[in-house]
Amino acid sequence: MRYVIIGAGAVGGTIGVRLGEAGRDVVLVARGAHLDAIRDRGLTLRSPDATVTWRGSAAGGPPAAPLPADTVLVLTVKSQDTEAALAAWVDAPVDGGGTAGERLPLLVAQNGVANERAALRLVARVHPVCVWLPATHLEPGVVVANGHPHPGMLQLGRYPSGSDDTSRAVAADLTAAGFVAPVRDDVMRWKYGKLLSNLGNGLQALLGRDVPEGLAERVRAEGVTALAAAGIAHTSPEEEAAERGDQVRHRPVDGEERAGGSTWQSLARGAGSAEADHLNGEIVLLGRLHGVPTPANAAVQLAVRRAVRERIPAGSFPRVELEKMIG
């Protein structure tokens, strides 16, 4: 199979380089200075054990020629960029006729739980991926992956439920590339559990490492209550920890710990957008649909948008002001 990684940032870059190092056919899709750097000097992946530079195909979008029929599309952009990415790729022609949306499998390797539904409107074969992969992308042409002894755990299935031969074939390739890649018929239950842990991403982006424990507990508690009101099943922290075990531990790279999560990185890079509307915002949406108050998550949403708009540096949002916004 040929893998097209749509969004070669922290997650996509790690997956793409590791698949490429394992001998799989990979195309990395990026934009701007990051794309230029990959084309000029390759994508460097720094990890606890080694630094490698992948030099292969890189693109800014779909090719003019039809995609091979054995292509797997892997969507790894941030959730706020999903709509544009899908629009760019869904009608790309495929060898033998038809379009990518009609014929090719799409792996949704993103935080949040709304991307699969958005994709299914346009793509017939949608495969959710629950991503546990501690990595950082701040510098063009460079990704730092802190996971050890495996770079990450990528749980795969089919949307809305179940799994198939494609799930198992992709899992085999990811395993060969060094990942832990279990196939699950209930992968969305795991993604909802991951969503609850990702509710703290916005807090970290706003306040840095020193997030008050009570505030982190509050955003999660609102999430648990909203999911219960909506009748949505999710994994527990205990179940997740037991599954992950010691397979994906955070390790320093070149003596440096991971600086921050995905939302923190968006603010640190001045990316111009962040994913809080698809993380905390998912809980706010469910709360409004089912009559559950979610003031802490709504405040985090609002504060992250303000931080993006006003270019407030990552970790520098006034804590007192955020607490006032929550009420």
> Per-residue pLDDT tens for 261-306?
999 999 999 999 999 999 999 999 999 999 999 999 999 999 999 9
Residue-level pLDDT at 133: 98
Q: What is the number of other CB atoms lying within 10 angstroms of the CB of residue 71?
A: 21
Give dist(CA 294, CA 298) in Å, integer: 6
DSSP H or E run through 320 = helix 319-326
Residue-level pLDDT at 198: 98
Q: Where in the chain is the domain with CATH 1.10.1040.10?
A: 188-326
Q: What is the pLDDT of residues 20-56, one digit of tens each?
A: 999 999 999 999 999 999 999 999 999 999 999 999 9
- When pLDDT is cut at 50, 70 and 90, the band that residue 237 belongs to is very high
Q: Positive or negative, the Cα torsion across 65, 129, 114, 111?
A: negative
Residue-level pLDDT at 212: 94
List of residues 6+ apart from 204 with CB closer than 8 A: 211, 260, 261, 263, 264, 315
Q: What is the mean pLDDT of the chain?
A: 97
Give dist(CA 275, CA 264) in Å, integer: 10
- When pLDDT is cut at 50, 70 and 90, the band that residue 72 belongs to is very high
Query: Averaged over 87-109, what is the pLDDT?
Result: 98
Q: Could you give the angle at the alpha carbon of 285 between the alpha carbons of 186 and 107, nearest 5°?
A: 35
Residue-level pLDDT at 54: 96
- When pLDDT is cut at 50, 70 and 90, the band that residue 91 belongs to is very high
Residue-level pLDDT at 66: 98
- When pLDDT is cut at 50, 70 and 90, the band that residue 228 belongs to is very high
Residue-level pLDDT at 125: 98
Place of tokens 């990051």: 34
Cross-strand pairs, 253: 256
- When pLDDT is cut at 50, 70 and 90, the band that residue 92 belongs to is very high
Residue-level pLDDT at 326: 94
- The model's pTM: 0.97
Residue-level pLDDT at 118: 98
Residue-level pLDDT at 202: 98
The domain over range 2-184 is classified in CATH as 3.40.50.720: yes
Residue-level pLDDT at 261: 95
Residue-level pLDDT at 255: 94
Burial class (CB in 10 A: 0-12, 13-18, 19+), 144: buried
Query: Averaged over 186-211, what is the pLDDT?
Result: 97
Query: Averaged over 205-217, what is the pLDDT?
Result: 95
Q: Where in the chain is the domain with CATH 3.40.50.720?
A: 2-184
CATH architecture for residues 188-326 = Orthogonal Bundle (1.10)
